[in-house]
Amino acid sequence: MSKEIEAILALAAPVIPVLTVNRVEDALPLAMALKQGGIRVIEVTLRTDAAMNAIAEMKKIDGLLIGAGTVTREGQLHELLSIGADFAVSPGATPKLLEAGKRVGVPFLPAISSVSDMMQGIELGYRCFKFFPAEAAGGVESLKSFAGPFPDVSFCPTGGITEANFKHYLELPSVLCVGGSWLVPADAINQQDWSRVTQLAQSALGK
Ligand code: 3PG
């Protein structure tokens, strides 16, 4: 499974927009606006009642991979499998969830913020992690320190990443892509300002 999530993150590079969707009717135009801006992989956080249906809607668009974020329970992995979600991301890594992530059949990206967390994941066969909360957990300097003892581990840093700092992360060989909500501000979604969403994506992708 680890290989599969690595391939998804490599496809997502340089950035996965992390979305919080409150209205299912926003899902299609929002995902289309991101696709138009050059985005290929989207993460929808499971923090709203609309999230699962929003993922199912976005899955109707060809050429995009749609995953879920804020996954904290095994039951969510089963639900994501049933709606055809492409991947699942957790803000953490409990032993139970790590084990379920290997078993359920949805490519799974657990998060670590310390070496001990990472070693627990490695023990269960994971080689690819979200680094969360990236800025608060030491940012680029922490990732550089991880690379010494763990040269074959790769990351998607997320949390506090912005247009101003994301390129610093991408310079590290261990970073496959970054994740962030800065690409899709809440007010842009609320105002259904899809052209702004496209512009922010194009800007992040240097287009
Ligand atoms: C996440 O769910 O991965 C983070 O909340 C996204 O972090 P950000 O809002 O700081 O980009």
Which domains are delineated in the chain? Answer: 2-194 (3.20.20.70)
- Both tokens of residue 51? 């999230």
Annotated active-site residue 130? The verdict is yes
Q: How would you label 100-116 residue by residue, b for 16+ Cβ within 10 Å and e otherwise?
A: bbeebebbbbbbbbeee
Q: Atom 9, ligand 1: which residue's CA is nearest? A: 181
pLDDT of residue 207: 79
> Ligand 1 centre and the CA of 159: distance in Å?
4
Record the pTM.
Answer: 0.95
144 labelled catalytic: no
Q: Please say whether the beta carbons of 81 and 104 come within 8 A.
A: yes
Is the pLDDT at 2 greater than 80, yes or no?
no
Nearest-CA residue for atom 5 of ligand 1: 159
Amino acid type, 112? I
Q: For residue 137, which of 160, 166, 163 has the smallest C-alpha distance?
A: 160
- Among candidate residues 16, 67, 1, the one with its CA nearest the CA of residue 170: 16
User: With a cut of 0.95, is the ipTM above it?
Assistant: no
Ligand 1 contacts (CB < 6 A) are 18, 45, 69-70, 132, 158-161, 179-182
Model confidence band, residue 3 (pLDDT cutoffs 50, 70, 90)? low
Determine the distance separating the centroid of ligand 1 and the alpha carbon of 137, expressed in angstroms.
13
Q: What is the mean pLDDT of residues 70-99?
A: 97
| Cβ atoms within 10 Å, residue 145 | 12
pLDDT at 122: 97
Residue 178's nearest CA partner among 186, 187, 170 is 170
Distance, in Å, from the CA atom of 110 to the CA atom of 98, rounded to the nearest integer, reads: 7
Tally the residues of the chain.
207
Question: Distance, CA 19 to ligand 1 centroid (Å)?
Answer: 9
Mutate to test the pocket of ligand 1, among 70, 89, 158, 182 (most ligand atoms within 8 A of CB): 158
| Tens digits of residue pLDDT in 19-66 | 999 999 999 999 999 999 999 999 999 999 999 999 999 999 999 999
* Cβ neighbourhood burial of 57 (10 Å; 0-12, 13-18, 19+): buried
